Amino acid sequence: MNPRSQQFTMPAEWTTHERTFISWPIQASMCYPEQYKEVCSAYAEIIIAMAEFEPVTVVVNAADQEAVRAYVEGEHAHPIDLLVIEHNDAWLRDNGPTFVTSPDGKLAGVNWGFNAWGGKYSPWDLDDAVAPQIIQHVGAIQFDAPLVMEGGSIHTDGEGTLLTTEECLLNKNRNPELSREQIFELLKQYVNIDTVIWLERGLSGDETDGHVDNIACFAAPGKVILQVCHDENDDNFAITQRNLQILSEAVDAKGRKLEVIEIEQPPAVYYEGERLTLSYLNFYFVNGGIILPVFGGTAEETDKKAIEVLAALYPDRRIRTINGMGVIREGGNVHCTTQQLPLAVV
């Protein structure tokens, strides 16, 4: 039994949410543990921003409950709840469940295998056990997928088409025994899609091995937003131009040619000699809004352009910006931290 056989499908992220889940950071697993307080403040900023639009559940380790309450206390338009689940790291997009819904209003969660982005960070045993606990908490049906995969590596239009990258899903550090065709078949079964659009690579230096949520996402059925680079001397130039070519030639599951909306990447920023994977595409849809990371400084002009592009695309959504530099040194941004619980309705 799998989601497709039971008529479950993964809704598009822009559909109505019941709430958002987000995990609280763990100092011991951070790349820069001395910046823990700064990162916690940045997470609190994201959580409070999301609570302007919809309820938020923060997954916390038991020892952190009081501290987290202090960070997010106050009056909010929507409730902020804490859920005690022990975890190793904070990127819930990647180790959390992928929720799927059925036409008759049932809710289920897909429990993917998780190995910390190809075994990069140990331990990850607690993180691999988070998804089933969230699924149980919301009372959903659980589907265990025989595939190691992170949620940030896929994006769907809700109508049968999925975006991903070869760099990540075909990486031998995830599922070395599976072929491209076998991975496609498992995606077909567990998120109920018919077409995969395979981009080649993600952003240069992305330690997730090219998660798609940093470079491209569906804006609507038949529309894709792509982060692009026009500087031929930048490592992302060839990557994004190739992805643009692939998308311009692609056809979705409904037979539509795709309209591609471009967002110019922010200028390169380096920290301790390593390029940070700055991306406007790591935004997150909330009910009636978009939580958008912006970067300031040398990125002021591209920040402004990204806001303008999204505001034109979504005139009925409020573009709520947050400080995109707050958590990026740890390797991700807003979308990476979040996992939506879709509203399952008949």
Mean pLDDT of 219-238: 97
Domain count for the chain? 1
Q: 270-271 and 17-23: which strand pairing? A: unpaired
Instruction: Give yes or no for residue 345 having a pLDDT over 80.
Output: no
94 vs 336: CA distance, rounded Å: 7
292 vs 124: CA distance, rounded Å: 29
- Compute the mean pLDDT over every residue in the chain, rounded to the nearest whole number: 97
Hey, what are 213's tokens? 């949520």
Could you say which of 40, 217, 229, 336 is catalytic?
336
Residue-wise pLDDT for 9-40, tens only, equals 999 999 999 999 999 999 999 999 999 999 99
* pLDDT band for position 344 (cuts 50, 70, 90): confident
CA atoms within 13 A on the CB side of 234: 19
The residue range of the domain holding 175 is 4-342
Give the distance from CA 76 to its chain's centroid: 24
Q: What is the CATH number of the domain that holds 113?
A: 3.75.10.10
Mean pLDDT of 79-90: 97
Residue-wise pLDDT for 255-264, tens only, equals 999 999 999 9
Q: 318-323 and 338-342: which strand pairing? A: unpaired
Angle at 194 between CA 190 and CA 200, to 5 degrees: 90
Distances (CA, A) of 145 to 12, 40, 142, 267, 291: 20, 32, 10, 38, 30
Please give the pLDDT value at position 346. 52
Please give the pLDDT value at position 106. 96
Residue-wise pLDDT for 122-133, tens only, equals 999 999 999 999
Q: Is 168 labeled as catalytic in the residue annotation?
A: no
Instruction: Give yes or no for residue 118 having a pLDDT over 90.
Output: yes
Q: Say what the pTM is.
A: 0.97
Kindly give the residue spans of alpha helices, DSSP state H, lying in the chain.
36-50, 65-72, 92-95, 116-119, 125-128, 130-137, 166-169, 180-191, 235-249, 300-313, 334-337
